[in-house]
A and B are shown apart, each in its own frame.
Chain A
């Protein structure tokens, strides 16, 4: 496998405003890289820098081993799909898809041939003579992808391509993009603010905030081992529970004391870790807190908590309990007996716990 995209020490400033700060990202052939973060984190700017649509302040970008830092977009061997689709309104679907080839002086026969192939692949053959204005959102999306596919580029760039679609269509198109990626074994960089999209599509995720990369890793790494409080909070839905706790030594391991607004504090133990600062934040995914009646195991620690809110969500029921002054979500079975106000025993899976420094927010384990 060869390196398709290599970004080294990239900085981007707008005037005195720093947008991107020392970005270093590498992807291999066939990787699906997702840039994710809240709006304004610089992820779209980074994508535009990769495309060559925005000049960079310093650093280097190489695509397929060639330095592309100052190469113009058309010569970077990339294709891009935009959020607004950016279809040329006065051209038909066919003309939209072949415009790039026409500009590059590709022979008509070859253009037709490639158009037919892509149209078949995306099942848009009946639409070729229509104009973008006559298409539905999902169809426009397909055409925009067709325009990218027909170039057969080294690298595909997607700029929030699904955010203009309604919820149902978004899930469908998401699956289709994933299939496309698998079938083509193409290398892709995909920008989204939707962490579910990031988790489902990516082979590699870059979480960004304020122009700084927070963590780079596989979806599983990002989900199970978030590198700081921001990533922990941003990735996953419902979000990871972040519970402030006091640490005390306990034999070989440590003991956590979590204050509660009522009754005794909650006590949890971890025997596998020895050194922690006095104040930490415990990160537990909702699925790591369960119903004590249903889950059995040695590693699980059981404690009784009072139920604040019960939210049935169909497949699961989310139960909110108050710990350490924060609402904590537990994911229980759909047919749980939990009711608002009742005392209930919960299990805490300390195998999966993340510890963060209460001051710096950095991961400790």
Chain B
């Protein structure tokens, strides 16, 4: 490289460095802002009640204790029972896992049909399903309660699975439809000539293509269903409540001293699965949201 060129390159480099530092400063500020509450939650959950009362909110614990976590998991009182979050956590797992799997599968099939097997009225049906995404939870509470009563699923975990599957189909169909609509229809034609039928094409050709959108849908549905409170509190009874309802009960039904450390630990436990899903699959989430066309 000759002299004048390297000077030019130097100034370019410095400019880039300054921009970079500004960018990182800005990102750092936001990260700090969002991480602060988590920091307070984690440190508070590791402190004893004594230390919380005497110390400052943002201080690190002088003495780390997991007692609050243990209480939150298996000892905290939700109303009259004192079993902690554990049974409700498993309720949520039993509720979320099947609901996510079923609604994702139905959404994939719906999207496949609407995007690739165009039939008369396909667009109308899709619009109606899309409309379903915008109906607020509160609106369906009463009719849903009636339906659950009629089909004998009231107050059960299966009933909640049913509610979440129904409510999720709109979203999952939307995701899969938008993903599949960018896949050339010639793929289905070629497979038809190859002799594959409706389900064979779906399983052999479309499902293997769908990993990014499956991840997006699973994250979305899991977050929705795990974090849901309204359906959980409306359609459950003692013993079938999901973890969000139990968390609410723990925090609101303490008598006497407010155990902040237990509340914080319980809140973290309740939020952990969704956090985990994002950490594990977040990379695919972004990729899936931006991935559209399938070339080849």
Interface residues of A (CB under 8 A from B): 48, 51, 53, 72-74, 78-80, 82-91, 99-100, 103-104, 131-133, 135, 140, 147, 159
Contacts and interface: CB of A to CB of B under 8 A. Distances in A.
B195 A133 contact: no
Interface in B140-164: none
The 5 closest A-B pairs by CB, nearest first: A132-B296, A100-B194, A74-B195, A86-B186, A90-B208
Interface string B103-123: 000000000000000000000
B186 A88 contact: no
B196 interface: yes
B296 A74 contact: no
Contacts of A133: 295-296
Contacts of B79: none
Interface string B150-194: 000000000000000000000000000000000010110111111
Interface residues of B, number: 19
Contacts of B189: 48, 51, 53, 73, 80, 82, 86
Contacts of B295: 89, 133
Given A82-B186, A99-B204, A87 B193 contact: no
A363 B96 CA distance: 74
Contacts of B209: 89-90
A140 B296 contact: yes
B187 A86 contact: yes
B195 A104 contact: yes
9 contacts: A72-B192, A74-B196, A79-B193, A80-B189, A86-B186, A88-B187, A90-B208, A131-B296, A159-B186
B200 interface: yes
Contacts of A48: 189
Given A86-B187, A132-B296, A74 B208 contact: no
B257 interface: no
Interface of B: 184, 186-187, 189-196, 200, 204-205, 208-209, 294-296
Contacts of A91: 208
A121 B126 CA distance: 46
Contact of A84 (B186, B192, B193, B208): B186
A91 B294 CA distance: 13
B122 to A, nearest CB: 15
Nearest to B205: A88
B184 A74 contact: no
Given A89-B209, A89-B295, A133-B296, A80 B195 contact: no
